[in-house]
Homo-oligomer: A and B are copies of this chain.
Amino acid sequence: MKANPLQYADFGKGKTAVLLFFNPSLRTRLSTEKAAYNLGMSVMTMNAAQGWKLEFEDNVVMKSDKAEHIREAAQVISQYADVIGIRTFPSLTDRAKDYEDAILYKLIKYATVPVVSLESAIRHPLQSLTDALTISEHQPRYRPKVVLTWAPHPRNLPQAVANSFAEWMLAWDAVDLTITHPKGYELYKGFTAGASITHDQKAAFEGADFIYAKNWSSYHDYGKNPKQDLDWMITGDKMALTNAGKFIHCLPVRRNVVVADEVLNSAASLAIEQANNRTYAAQAVLYELLHSK
């Protein structure tokens, strides 16, 4: 897909992707639309902000402000689409509910066409596929050392990117994964079991081939993000501890909070190239889903 993005430009003729954004998006929206266009598909994008609210609970008397049930919406949209993409967001207040990923799974349950997660409450698989592609393109050696490091951020963010990154790297089993974060930011063990985990960021960076930086809010003190100092920011000094390591971030990134300018502006940063890979990851997934249909 990356070597020749338009090789399947006629493949998707007459096929339509419907993309549903319950949360705004720049990269995911543009790269997924671009992927669909590269495959010759049509795209219809809905932003929930444009005024529709769905009911996700069953057996409910629908007298609230929610005009439609996911059951109808999923079946109806399926008839206009060959594939549905959906972005949802966690509450960050009700962990049990967020970790059920109910909106995504209800859509999958009722849809009659394939559904692609464009980031759900707890996972971001298209990002992780992109991460694996980027790492495989740049790996300097067999089983490179990959470090997922927590970094500061002024807002309370989901754990989705970190969860999926850990899950995919471990399942891929082509890298050695170390996760480092301050105490209190432990991720759900269901995603991280098998990784080396340490609270010592500098020790983690030693000999690393890839530094994957991301903020996430606490899983245990759910949704909270108490650590607001910048001790864990990724700096040039810390990068100097690595094995000429590459810096990766899924973007958007807060400069001089998550990462210092000196790192993001350096040749070691793969952040921009990584964003480009989003298109090809999405394109591969759309092709695979529609090819096998």
Contact = CB atoms under 8 A, between A and B. Distances in A.
Nearest to A74: B272
A55 interface: yes
Interface string A52-86: 10010001111110011101110111011000000
A28 to B, nearest CB: 11
State which size class the interface on A falls in: 35 or more
A153 to B, nearest CB: 9
Nearest to A9: B14
B47 A42 contact: no
Copies in the complex: 3
B42 A24 contact: no
A37 B30 contact: no
A115 interface: no
B33 A279 contact: no
Given A51-B24, A52-B24, A31 B275 contact: no
Given A51-B49, A80-B34, A272-B75, A255 B44 contact: no
A226 to B, nearest CB: 15
B61 A256 contact: yes
15 contacts: A16-B34, A18-B30, A24-B52, A26-B68, A26-B73, A31-B80, A34-B80, A49-B50, A63-B154, A63-B254, A67-B254, A72-B272, A75-B272, A79-B276, A80-B276
